[in-house]
């Protein structure tokens, strides 16, 4: 379970996708990355002990420990990347307007538009706009919202994205949040505190 928060501490909505991943998933990722570093240090330390070719390649325990620590280190790093990728993909599918597209999505869309005949220079300029985060490159692409990952309950006005929710300040008369973040709440009805 997440660490206890002060009752006065209300997280603000953010477009930083890492902070929107569920707490348990972030713990898994960080733990795997710590094991990645630990096994890498063990691997490098074993090179001091088994420093000759005979010790490190031909005779146990060096011929077992050196490859094992290398494989464990790489495995933990790859596993952390996969866990993060699945989590971020789920959040992007659940709310494609809130989070910028992934680099892989940008490359796919870039390639598709380039093959369709758009000029390379205009695509690069469009993707490099700092305010767009690449979202303008994907503006014409339809991204389906995964209904199994995102549900809206109109009774409680609660948008649940897996097991993550954030208290969101109420919107003003135009449906925008008063802090200037530009998040449009008009689709959820009149402004009052709701979970997003």
Q: Which residues make Cβ contacts (< 8 Å) with residue 100, sequence separation at least 6?
A: 15, 17, 133, 134, 135
pLDDT at 1: 57
pLDDT at 44: 96
The 3 state secondary structure assigned to 34-48 is HHHHHHHHHHHHHHH
Domain boundaries, the chain: 17-94
Decide if 76 contacts 84 (C-beta within 8 A).
Answer: no
Q: pTM here?
A: 0.57
Task: Determine phi and psi for 102, rounding to 5 degrees.
Answer: -75, 160
Q: For residue range 128-163, what is the model confidence (pLDDT) as tens digits?
A: 765 555 555 555 443 433 333 344 333 333 333 333
Bridge partners, residue 171, by sequence: 177
pLDDT at 132: 53
pLDDT in tens, the chain (196 residues): 566 554 444 456 777 888 889 999 999 999 999 999 999 999 999 999 998 888 888 888 989 999 999 999 999 999 999 999 999 999 988 888 888 788 888 888 888 888 888 877 777 777 676 555 555 555 544 343 333 334 433 333 333 333 333 444 444 455 444 444 445 445 444 444 444 4
Q: For residue range 90-104, what is the model confidence (pLDDT) as tens digits?
A: 998 888 888 878 888
Distance, in Å, from the CA atom of 154 to the CA atom of 196, rounded to the nearest integer, reads: 12
Pairing state between β 194-195 and 150-153: unpaired
190: burial class by Cβ within 10 Å (0-12, 13-18, 19+)? exposed
Say which residue the tokens 């993060």 belong to.
84
pLDDT at 5: 56
Bridge partners, residue 158, by sequence: 153, 195
b/e 55-73 (16+ beta carbons within 10 angstroms → b): bbeeeeebeebbeebbebb
């Amino acid at each position: 379970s997440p660490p206890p928060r002060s009752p006065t501490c209300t997280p603000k909505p953010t477009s930083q996708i890492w902070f929107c991943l569920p707490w348990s998933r972030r713990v898994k990722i960080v733990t795997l990355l710590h094991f990645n570093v630990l096994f890498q240090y063990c691997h490098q330390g074993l090179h001091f002990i088994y420093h000759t070719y005979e010790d490190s390649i031909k005779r146990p325990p060096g011929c077992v420990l050196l490859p094992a620590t290398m494989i464990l280190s790489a495995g933990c790093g790859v596993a952390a990347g996969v866990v993060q990728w699945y989590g971020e993909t789920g959040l992007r599918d659940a709310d494609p307007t809130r989070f910028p597209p992934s680099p892989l999505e940008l490359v796919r869309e870039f390639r598709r538009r380039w093959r369709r005949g758009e000029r390379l220079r205009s695509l690069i300029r469009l993707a490099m706009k700092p305010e767009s985060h690449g979202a303008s490159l994907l503006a014409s692409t339809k991204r389906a919202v995964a209904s199994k990952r995102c549900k809206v309950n109109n009774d409680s006005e609660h948008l649940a994205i897996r097991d993550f929710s954030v208290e969101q300040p109420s919107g003003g008369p135009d449906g925008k949040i008063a802090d200037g973040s530009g998040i449009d709440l008009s689709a959820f009805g009149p402004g009052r505190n709701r979970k997003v």
